[in-house]
Structure 1
């Protein structure tokens, strides 16, 4: 703790043999971060630039990919600095910000996937009413709520945590996540209840809504013609794959942090990295290659660049 400026610093002690492999780590993570930025931003640019992609489904995809860019930017720059630093520390206030931003953006991803599921439900199950339901105003409301609701809830959580006393100053991770809970001297029942409320409200409810929505879609497609079934499979499968992957990683993150048993450092590092690696890196591949319209414009873009 720096008494002169009254700033509390936390040590990030989740790195493995950083003194030996710091430049290798830096190169690999920088490459991953650049790939995330380039791939996500390319698809977002195409959706923004092409008038044929100005449909609700593609707008939600662009929002999801932009969310991945924000999530990665919250983690990777600090991670790169730590690789080149002699000490891996972060101020308590910056750690709270990183923690709140991380889980706020993760919850935003679930809400965006829920909005995409609703869009697919209206498109496939109520095609005659699609234009009147999925208006620009509706899309704007969905996008605003998807980002503002999680942000408001985690800002409130961070404000409460900022006033609590710390009994530990070392995190066994490489960035600030749920492990920060273990540093506080005590946790009130109200704070624990609020954390459970956020988990149910921002993760469990969207996941249940998505599963219910796709169950209805599958039921209707089962009684429809082959063309409707192909359309449903083509547009819904990427969403379900992204949802399943994200839900698995978040569930694992919540469970592992609350386990009292000691988890090997390497295993903890790998599990922690998965949360910020898979979806930001593979979402643009999933939507850029699996979505026919986006894939078509991507091929035209790269063909024009190679001429």
Structure 2
């Protein structure tokens, strides 16, 4: 058995030495981060200000956009600091905090997508019961659970990981990752592994519930008129595109964690490990902002009103 030590900091080893190009990389990532913030904040303001958008579907979207801000802020600032820094170390408390933010972000993302699929299922498959089943009180409870469940689940995960005796402090990524820390452990990780499998199974269950909901929506709508089929396509397309995009990113991350990827270049591994954390926060605002007519119309009205006023 390797000697265990009390780890006070971790080294993020995947950062590449690109010389003066680091300033260009910093500028590109900073622009990406600012664009992500602006897009999500804009859509949150649009939904909050416009009373006609105070419907369950749009309020669930607002919660999703808040989560994109949350996840981005847990990743980008630390990466930007490390790009300009010569020392790629992070203190243990800050590392576990980043793990908590990133993992809760991922869970809230899946929970939000599941919640939106349930809302659309009720609206299309059970339209007469929609108003009685999706009341303001129930909507508030569902949104609260969307955030509370991941916070509790990941809190337990962090407590299990932080209590492990570690034999190293090198993480082969550009951000802190729970599985990377578990692999550094000298002590028994059976409980961590069992909890991790249960946690993954619950997430897969959420994904399957989303797929079932949209399968039922498509079944109902495609058995109806042409107008119903068009409604099904317009309703399901953005949700399913968001689900596929995020699920593929998470799949890339799981593959990297579970299998030996040393034959793949470091740059490719870094890009794949960041895909699920960087693309979704910008993908969702663009996807929903362009597909939801009420949001598009309100944004155009707001922009043209400011231009004419000036």
**Cα gap change, 1:252/1:246 in structure 2, threshold over 3 Å: closer, same or farther?**
same
1:179 aligns with 2:203: no
- Is this contact kept in 1: 2:173–2:270, CA < 8 A? yes
Aligned match of 2:271: 270
- Is this contact kept in 2: 1:122–1:130, CA < 8 A? yes
Aligned match of 2:80: 80
Aligned match of 2:110: 110
Distance in 2 separating the partners of 1:278 and 1:119: 25
Aligned match of 2:44: 44
- Is this contact kept in 1: 2:221–2:231, CA < 8 A? no
Partner-residue secondary structure (3-state), 2:168: coil
1:192 shift after superposition: 0.3
Aligned match of 1:122: 122
Partner-residue secondary structure (3-state), 1:19: coil
- Is this contact kept in 2: 1:18–1:83, CA < 8 A? no
Give the 5 Å matches for 1:124-273: 124-177=124-177, 178-201=179-202, 203-262=203-262, 263-273=264-274
Partner-residue secondary structure (3-state), 2:11: strand
1:52-77 residue CA offsets vs partner (Å, 9 max, x unmatched) = 10000001111111100000000111
**Cα gap change, 1:298/1:237 in structure 2, threshold over 3 Å: closer, same or farther?**
same
1:166 shift after superposition: 1.3
Partner-residue secondary structure (3-state), 1:159: helix
Distance in 1 separating the partners of 2:255 and 2:306: 46
- Is this contact kept in 2: 1:235–1:291, CA < 8 A? no
Q: TM-score, normalised by structure 1?
A: 0.94
1:136-163 residue CA offsets vs partner (Å, 9 max, x unmatched) = 1111111111111111111111111111
Between 1:135-144 and 1:116-125, the stretch displaced more is 135-144
Partner-residue secondary structure (3-state), 1:285: helix
Aligned match of 2:284: 283
1:264 shift after superposition: 2.2
- Is this contact kept in 2: 1:44–1:66, CA < 8 A? yes
1:187 shift after superposition: 4.4
1:186 shift after superposition: 4.1
Partner-residue secondary structure (3-state), 1:32: helix
Partner-residue secondary structure (3-state), 1:183: coil
Partner-residue secondary structure (3-state), 1:184: coil
1:28-84 residue CA offsets vs partner (Å, 9 max, x unmatched) = 111011000000110011000001100000011111111000000001111111122
Q: CA RMSD in A?
A: 1.4
Distance in 1 separating the partners of 2:222 and 2:43: 32
Partner-residue secondary structure (3-state), 2:153: helix
Distance in 2 separating the partners of 1:194 and 1:131: 38
1:305 shift after superposition: 3.0
Distance in 1 separating the partners of 2:284 and 2:107: 16
Partner-residue secondary structure (3-state), 1:185: coil
Aligned match of 1:299: 300
- Is this contact kept in 2: 1:46–1:298, CA < 8 A? yes
Distance in 1 separating the partners of 2:116 and 2:133: 13
